[in-house]
Amino acid sequence: MKISTKGRYGLRILADIALNGGEKPRLIREISKSQNLSQKYVGRLIIELRKKGFLNSIRGARGGYMLAKDPANITLLDILETMEGEMSVVACVACPKKCKRSASCFARDAWAKLNNDIKASLSKITLADVMSPKGEEKSDFCI
């Protein structure tokens, strides 16, 4: 299992908005510049984040994007599954009907346990944790 740029950048975008937005909406060009990402890609990813309820969009001259939820209520699992789809170490765990050997596979239980452990770990880490690990304030981050 590998987390793609969509998942990593989705997390970076949310963290950027949380760290730099505050009371003022954050513009796509500001996020793009601070994260060194193309505006076009940031715009596409923001659409998915907004649709899933992580962001509110504000229209007008002073518009932009703001978090719709408290960073402590947004988990890495939420973000990654929004950007990547359902997390699964192997396809048969997420959709056993697609695998003809699923019912008799000796390794499926091990894959399912590993998958559940990963999801449980990701659900315990919040956006707030990523932004400020161990209570320390961070001004820059690498995700």
Q: Which domains, from first to last, does the chain contain?
A: 5-135 (1.10.10.10)
Residue 96 and residue 74 in contact, taking contact as beta carbons nearer than 8 Å: no
For the cut 60, the answer to whether the pLDDT of residue 105 exceeds it is yes
Backbone phi and psi for residue 67, each to the nearest 5 degrees, phi listed first:
-65, 140
At residue 109, the pLDDT reads 85
Instruction: Note the pTM of the prediction, 2 decimals.
Output: 0.84
Give per-residue pLDDT as tens, 4-62. 999 999 999 999 999 986 788 999 999 999 999 999 999 999 999 999 999 999 988 88
Give per-residue pLDDT as tens, 52-88. 999 999 988 888 999 999 999 999 999 999 999 988 8
Mean pLDDT of the chain: 88
Residue in this structure with the two tokens 């890609």, named with its chain if needed: 41
At residue 136, the pLDDT reads 54
At residue 95, the pLDDT reads 73
For the cut 90, the answer to whether the pLDDT of residue 102 exceeds it is no
Number of H helices, E strands in the chain: 7, 2
- The CA distance from 43 to 100, in Å, is 40
Backbone phi and psi for residue 26, each to the nearest 5 degrees, phi listed first:
-100, 130
Mean pLDDT calculated for residue range 106-113: 87
